[in-house]
Structure 1
C-alpha cells in the first residue's frame, strides 16, 4: 500500500490595504472576506501573512515563542530597521526579559492596588454621570470618554498636573506608528517632538508624585528588581497602555449601546451588567484592531507554512466577530453574551497590563450612567477617528433620558 503525499495548501491572497481610509473607517466587510478566504491569508499589498479567524489569532497570541514581539508589534521589523523610539519593555519584548518587567508591573497594577482606587474613581464617575444626565445631550467622546480617564488615571500614576493634554496625542502617535509609512503615521511623527519631550520628562523620578504607580516603578528599580534605565520606559508603557485604549473603550461602549438602545434597556434594568456590557462592546467594536508578530521559526498554521522571519498581521477585531467561535449572531451586540474570552486586550503573556484599570474605570462610569439614564440614543452621525491600530470615534453625539 503506497502512502499518499499530503495535499499542497495554496495560501489565498487578498489585494486590500487594511490601512486604507476605507477599511480603517469600517473594517467589517473586509474582515468577513478575510475570514472566508482562509485561516491564513497573504496580503499582497504588503507581501505579508494575516490571520482573521478566532482560533488562529488566539493561538498565535498565546504562542509567544513562535510569534514573537521582540522584533516589533508593528509592521517595522526591528531586526532590519531602527525603531522610531526605544522599544517597549512590555509590548515589544519577549521572555525571559519580558517576564522580569511584566512581573514588576503585575505587582504594581495588582488587584489590591486597583481596589484601593475604587472609591476615588467612583466619586468622579458619579459626578460626571450626573452632569451628563442633567445636560441631556452630550458628546460621548469629548464630554465623557476623553474627560473621565484623564481625571483619574494621571493622578493614579502620579503625573505632573501640567501638560496632561499631551497624553492623547502620544497615544495616537504610538498606535499610528505600528502601521505602514502612510499619511497617518507620517502626520503623527511630524508633530511628535514636543509630545515625546513631555512624556520623557514626566517619566523621570523627580516628576512623579509619591505613592503613585510611577513612583512605585522607580522604587522597584531602587530594590534592584529593575535596572534604573528601565524605570522610565516602564512608566512610559503604563501611559501607553492606560489612557488611549480606555478612552476608546468608553467611547466605543457608549457608541455600541446608543446604536443598540434595546441593549441599554437591559443595562438600565440591571446596572450590575456593566462589566459584561463592556466585554461585549470590546468584542463587538474592538478598540485595538490589529497587532503584528514575527515568526521566530518556520511554522505550519492550518496547512500554510510560514517562513521564519515573516511578519504576521493578527486581526483582533476580526477574531472577535468570527461566527466560527461566537455563533451566527456574532455581528449582533448582546450584553448577556459570555464575551470574556475575546482578544480585545490581547492574550497570553502580552495581554494588556493596564486592563484592570480600564475595567474599573468603565465599570464605574457605565454603572453610574446606567442608573441615571433610562434611555440613550444617537442624535447624529458619529465621526470616525482614524488610526493605524485603533478603531474609535472623534465624536459620538448622544441624548439620554433621565430615569
Structure 2
C-alpha cells in the first residue's frame, strides 16, 4: 500500500480543548496535542482534529473537502439550527462566498484604508500621550480596547448610542463556535438587547452617510445581490474590525511586556513594525480554533475521515509547530512569519485582517516613538472564550521615551 493511501487510526486525545484549563492557557497543552499525532480524535465531542502546521494548512486551504457552510463551530448546520443567521462570509462556501467576498474586498480595498491612516494616527497620538503621562495603565482596557472603539465604529458609520454592545456581541459570537459550556452560557446572559441593537445598527437607514456601512449596502445592490445581504455583511465587520483587533493588540503588548529586548529592537528599527504584528499573531494568536466539516470521505495524513465529520483546526498550535518553525516558542520580531495561520488560511481568511494590521501598526508606530519600555505591573487576566485567546486586563508601567 502506498504511503498516501495507508490507513491509520486518529490519535485519541483526552485533553478537552474547551475546558477552563485549556482556554486559560492553550499553549501549555499544544505540545501534548501536536505530539499525539497528525490527525486527532476528541471522544468527548466526537470530532477529529489537526494541530500540526501541515495538516491545519491543508484543512483550511481545501474548502471543497473541508467546508465552512455547515458551520465553523462545533454545531453542524445540516443537523443543528444555527443560533443566528449564518455569516455570508465565514459560514458560506463558493459560489455565494465568492460574490459576498468580492463585495467586501471592494469596501476594504487598500487605497480606501490608507486614506484613513493619518486620522487614525492623530487618534492614537492623543490616546497614547494621555496614557504616557499616567506612566501606569491597563494596556487592554485603556489602550487595546479604546483605540479600535474610537475609530472603527465611526469608519462604518454606526449609531453613536449603544456601541458598548459591540464587544458583547462579538464575545458571544466567538463563544458560540464551541460547545454549550459555562463559558458560552455566561456570554449569553443579557445578550438579547445587544442582538437587537446589532440588527438595527446594520440597517442602511441607521448608518451614517459616507461610512463604510452604507458602502456595503450600495455595493450589494450594485452586484445584484439580495438587499438583505447588506445588513448581514455589515454585521460581519462588527467582530472582524473590533474584537479580533482588540485582542490582537492586547496579546502583542503582553508579548512585548514579557520580552523587553524585542521592544528595544523595535525602537531601534521601526521598519520592523509590520513584522512585529505578524509575529505577535504567530506567537500568541487571537483566533485559536475553527471547525470545518468534511464533504466526502477523505484520507488525511494516512487517517480516513468519513464524510460529515467535524474537524477542529488548532490555529494557535500550528503557529508554534516546531516541525515548521525554528525556535517556535520564541517571540522574535525579526522572524519571517509568512504563511502563519493567525488569520486563517485560504478563501476564508479573516475579512478584517487588513484593518487589524493597519490599526495595530498605527498603535505600534506611536508607542515605539513615545515609550522607552513596557513593564508588567500586575498579573494579566484572560477573558475566557471558546474561540479567542483574549486579554481582559494587562496592567503595565511604562518609561516615557
* TM-score calculated relative to the size of structure 2: 0.98
| TM superposition shift of 1:150 | 0.1
Moved more, 248-257 or 38-47: 38-47
Alignment: residue pair count: 401
For 1:231 and 1:65, the matched residues in 2 are separated by 26
1:339 counterpart residue number: 337
Matched, 1:326 2:325: yes
- The runs of at least 4 aligned residues of structure 1 exceeding 2 Å deviation read 2-8, 221-226
* Structure 1 residue 272: Cα displacement: 2.7
Give me the whole-angstrom Cα distance separating, in 2, the residues matched to 1:158 and 1:389.
28
Secondary structure, aligned partner of 2:383: strand
Aligned to 1:381: 379
Distance in 2 (alpha carbons) for counterparts of 1:199 and 1:392: 22
1:369 lines up with 2:367 in the alignment: yes
Q: Deviation digits for residues 327-386 of structure 1, max 9, x if unmatched? A: 2x1001000001132101011110111111111100001110011111111111101110
Deviation at residue 139 of structure 1 after TM alignment: 0.5
Partner Cα separation in structure 1 for residue 285 and residue 388 of structure 2: 8
Report deviation, 1:324. Answer: 0.6
| Kept after mapping to 2: 8 A contact 1:16/1:45 | no
Give the alignment's TM-score, normalised by structure 1.
Answer: 0.97
- The aligned counterpart of 1:230 is 229
- C-alpha deviation, 1:222, in angstroms: 3.0
Residues 103 and 220 in structure 2, CA contact (< 8 A), matched pair in contact too: no
SS of 1:193 mapped into structure 2: helix
Compute the displacement of 1:302 (Å): 0.5
User: Matched residues in 2 for 1:7 and 1:64: separation?
Assistant: 23
Answering whether residue 150 of structure 2 is matched by residue 144 of structure 1, we say no
Change (3 A) 1:337 1:42: same
Task: Tell me what 1:399 maps to.
Answer: 397
Q: Which runs of 5+ in 2 are unaligned?
A: none
Deviations 1:296-337 (CA, angstroms, capped at 9, x unpaired): 01111010010000000000000000011112x100100000
1:96: which partner in 2?
95
Query: Contact 2:103 / 2:223 at 8 angstroms: preserved in 1?
Result: no
CA distance in 2, matches of 1:150, 1:301: 42
Q: Does the 8 Å contact 1:104/1:225 carry over to 2?
A: no
Q: Give the corresponding residue for 2:180.
A: 181
Give runs of aligned pairs for residues 243-322 of structure 1, distance below 5 A: 243-322=242-321
